[in-house]
Amino acid sequence: MKKEGNIHVNVKNWPPEASNLMCLLNGACKFDVTDLAERALTPQILESVSYLDSDEAVDSLYADPYWPKWDSPWWHMTLLFEMGLAEKIPDRAIDAFQSVARNHYIDVFPLKEEELPEGCDPTRNIYCFCALGTAMQILEARGLRSDEVIPWARSWFARYQITDGGYNCAEEVYVRKTPRSSIVSTVPMLEALLKLSERGLSDEEETVLDSGIHYLLERKLFRSISKKDEVIDPDFLRLTFPRFYEYDVLRGLKLVTDWAVKRQKKLRWSGIEEAFALVCGKVNPADETIDIERQFYSGKKTLALAENGEWSRGHEVSLFPLLEAAGALGPSPFLHRQFMYMYENMYKLTYSGCFEI
């Protein structure tokens, strides 16, 4: 029931799109998606793992640990991580990435051109917040302390957090009279900080994390405050996998419910109710599937090494077999796993009285 003041949210108060899926919590409806992925995509997984363990991949990492999209080692590693298969990333690739990343990237996010160190390529030598947050999560998933591999990384959480609680990879935003964050830039940083919380956060970092979650909840995970509740980007409502850095409402729901469960925090019901109903409405309870609805990575251009040995823009992106298979439009076991984790979080939070209205 709901009542003003001391509010309790019961599953009976869940939107019908959500309550109709309670059967999914039965043990028979769960599965190990990692095992499923290994069985269904074994050839493509082995191909990516073999590539990452090759001289070609190591040479590519030393040429640039990130570019080009999408068929460089960075994207193979990121996809394996998102599939729950980080342990399959070969040590050789992780070692090469660590070695390169320590020297390739500068330890600041320059806000003005005059802050760029001499010889710094602003496209290739600066971590964006999306990439840094993702790199920290991959390293942690491989059992490494990301803040030791990238010693200055933790300082960025507080140093570059905008007053609204988020981050923005567009450096020019920071010098505006009213800087505004980007959900896309913010979520990987908060995911990384939440992962680091398992080893403990400073008081300052706890404040940063809570402020970032508040930023998302204020926007109901997909609505603009400055534009009077308009949808920030219609694509946020269409699920995608892999995400790499892309955002959708399921990713946002998983993050904020993970935060509430792991940090034992209250969660504002109004901040998630609409997104929860929207995502639950995408699940087909008959066959327990949820679909990939868009492929944001197709039809793009990339920075790449040209024949003359210079890095230049405008090259066609290149996909690889595992990306094409795991990202195919239609039912996705990887989105289903993310949905189930989020849905179980919602169930736990409901019964522990952790929703505020």
What is the SS3 string spanning 201-253?
A: CCHHHHHHHHHHHHHHHHCCCCECCCCCCCECCHHHHCCECCCCCCCCHHHHH
Task: State the residue for tokens 């990887």.
Answer: 334
43-61 residue pLDDT tens: 999 999 999 999 999 999 9
Number of domains in the chain: 1
Give the domain extent around 134: 11-356
The arithmetic mean of pLDDT across residues 58-84, rounded, is 96
In a domain, 217, yes or no: yes
In a domain, 281, yes or no: yes
CB 341 within 8 Å of CB 31 = no
Cis peptide before 242 (omega within 30 of 0): yes
pLDDT for residue 3 is more than 80: no
| Spatial distance between the Cα atoms of 70 and 89, rounded to a whole number of angstroms | 17
| Spatial distance between the Cα atoms of 82 and 89, rounded to a whole number of angstroms | 12
- β-pairing, 289-292 vs 267-268, is unpaired
Task: State the residue for tokens 């989105």.
Answer: 335
In a domain, 106, yes or no: yes
| Spatial distance between the Cα atoms of 92 and 253, rounded to a whole number of angstroms | 34
Single pTM value for the model:
0.94
In a domain, 6, yes or no: no
Task: State the residue for tokens 């947050």.
Answer: 133
In a domain, 100, yes or no: yes
In a domain, 41, yes or no: yes
CA dihedral 78, 84, 87, 93 (to 10 degrees): -10
| pLDDT grade for 341, boundaries at 50, 70 and 90 | very high
269-282 residue pLDDT tens: 999 999 999 999 99
In a domain, 5, yes or no: no
| pLDDT grade for 105, boundaries at 50, 70 and 90 | very high
147-180 residue pLDDT tens: 999 999 999 999 999 999 999 999 999 999 999 9
Question: What's the chain's Rg over C-alpha atoms?
Answer: 21
Cα atoms found within 13 Å of the Cα of residue 118, Cβ hemisphere only: 0
Share of the chain above pLDDT 90, in %: 79
**CATH for 222:** 1.50.10
| Spatial distance between the Cα atoms of 284 and 41, rounded to a whole number of angstroms | 23
pLDDT for residue 15 is more than 60: yes
Task: State the residue for tokens 């009077």.
Answer: 228
| Spatial distance between the Cα atoms of 238 and 6, rounded to a whole number of angstroms | 35
- Encode burial over 326-342: b for 16+ CB neighbours within 10 A, e otherwise: bbeeeebbbbbbbbbeb
pLDDT for residue 29 is more than 60: no
Which residues, including other chains, have CB under 8 Å from residue 56's CB and lie 6 or more apart?
A: none
In a domain, 2, yes or no: no
Task: State the residue for tokens 């997909």.
Answer: 222
CB 105 within 8 Å of CB 127 = yes
Q: What is the mean pLDDT of the chain?
A: 92
213-264 residue pLDDT tens: 999 999 999 999 989 899 999 999 999 999 999 999 999 999 999 999 999 9
